[in-house]
Amino acid sequence: MKSETVKETREKVLSLIENEYESDAAFEREMELPAKTVNNWRRGRSSSFMKMLPALAESFDISVGELLDMPITRDSSELSSDEIELLTLYRKCAVLSPKQRIAMSKSLETIINLYLNSAPDKKKTKQKE
């Protein structure tokens, strides 16, 4: 990624922290980050925020695209009702910590993979009929 994009994203993240949180320390506590993380971002010593864009976007209630100044449309017209239901359930988990959301997401992925791997092969089922 271009250093200019990283710099602009850093400025946006820091601005959001200033506007949304009482202090850098309050933000770090909420996000379960080590002390001085934001200070390192401010001084340009770290760009670890780039790896955290999904969690940061969620914390600020914006999209990753908005953090990167590349808005993503929220058009869901191409989604099925099942997909919308899953997204609705996932969004209910916004109150969870980033670690809990990751664990939940991995659990769901595991469950889906188990179902897919245990489902009878459609070709075999059709041949038996």
Distance in angstroms (rounded) separating the CA atoms of residues 80 and 101: 23
- Write the pLDDT tens digit of every residue in 30-43: 999 999 999 999 99
pLDDT tens digits for 78-123?
777 787 778 777 777 767 777 888 888 889 889 988 988 887 765 5
Tens digits of residue pLDDT in 15-67: 999 988 999 999 999 999 999 999 999 999 999 999 999 999 888 888 787 78
3-state SS of the chain? CCHHHHHHHHHHHHHHHHHHCCCHHHHHHHHCCCCCHHHHHHCCCCCHHHHHHHHHHHHHCCCHHHHCCCCCCCCCCCCCHHHHHHHHHHHHHHHCCHHHHHHHHHHHHHHHHHHHHHCCCHHHHHHHC
Where on the phi/psi map is residue 32: left (φ > 0), alpha (ψ -120 to 50), or beta? left
**Entry pTM:** 0.54
Q: How many angstroms separate the most distant Cα atoms in the chain?
A: 68
Distance of CA 30 to the CA centre of its chain: 15
Q: Which amino acid is at 123?
A: K
Domain ranges for the chain? 3-67, 81-120
Q: Which of 79, 86, 51 is nearest to 67 (CA)?
A: 51
